Amino acid sequence: MSDAPLSLVVFARDQSRRVQDAWDELSAFLDARTGVQIAATAIAGDLTLPDEPVDLVLVLGGDGAILRACHQLGPRQHPVLGINLGRLGFLADLSPDEFRENFELIRQRQYQVVEHLMFECALKRGDGSTETFLGLNEAAIRASGLQMIDVELAINDEPVTTYSGDGLIVSTPVGSTAHSLSAGGPLLRQDLQAFVVTPICPHSLSNRPLVDHADRVYTLDVPNADVGATLVVDGQIRRPIRPDDRIEIRKASVTFKLARIPGHSFYAMLYRKLGWAGHTRTTHTPR
């Protein structure tokens, strides 16, 4: 166990009354404790890491705030601990009360850091230019809403199928509980090395979600992209798609690091967040 103070960077995506009140309470709580130091704060601002080592990036908000923090960390990913001020929160799993109750465990670094798959999404334009984005949840192609869109999928240059419908989602296991789940995709353990391909309102009943390994390259072509067709990465980045564009998705060289305290495993989180307690015969929370 390290004797050095626990070094925290605090991040929040906005300055709403709810966030400000939570930070005021949390700040007062931390100020009254020894063995912890706040290395930097970014409340509704850009996240800048200090030069000295950081133990945890403490994110106030919901999963959207964690996604924004992850994007701002970029290639310098640090362990993230989310304090949920929203509703569901698959990544931001601790309430403010639970953070305070478990603070001694956290201060003593008795948490597990689980590394999760991230992806690189390269948007290759027909004019030869390329934009590359780092993502955690999913890359989605969405139709404009005026007509059905066709998305041609190839994996490692092998043609797979053409999805016709309202769009297509390629998600990580972390993203499998987000947009992909709403579109009928499966739940994946967050530490798996796999991608989920989920069609949005497919025209054919034979088009179903597909799971394949993360070490492969997923290529998407949209030959009939009309005005308004869009590539969306993690709900944070939006780019228009033209018929001669190509999108390539592959495993990133960096991982998202999520800190979890004892008793807050993946299945325990699903048990609490999805209301599975009402559909199980057991009388205890899985650990």
What average pLDDT score do residues 23-47 get?
A: 90
Give 282's pLDDT tier (boundaries 50, 70, 90): very low
Question: Measuring CA to CA, which residue among 135, 29, 94 is closest to residue 264?
Answer: 94
Is 63 in the active site? yes
Give, in words, the CATH class of 6-111+261-279: alpha beta
Structure tokens at 255: 């991982």
Tens-place pLDDT, residues 241-267: 999 999 999 999 999 999 988 876 677
pLDDT of 68: 92
Instruction: Tell me how crowded residue 258 is: count the other CB atoms within 10 A of its CB.
Output: 24
| Residue type for position 7 | S
What does the mean pLDDT of the chain come to? 90
What average pLDDT score do residues 69-88 get?
A: 90
Tens-place pLDDT, residues 118-148: 999 999 999 999 999 999 999 999 998 778 8
Tens-place pLDDT, residues 199-213: 999 988 778 999 999
Of 3, 21, 55, 63, which is the active-site residue?
Answer: 63
Q: In this prediction, what percent of the chain has a pLDDT beyond 70?
A: 93
Alpha helices in 113-235 (DSSP H): 179-182
What is the CATH architecture of 119-253?
A: Sandwich (2.60)
pLDDT of 1: 53
Buried b (16+ CB within 10 A) or exposed e, 71-98: bbbeeebbbbbbbbbeeebbbbbbebee
- Give the pTM: 0.88
What average pLDDT score do residues 140-168 get?
A: 93
Domain boundaries, the chain: 6-111+261-279, 119-253
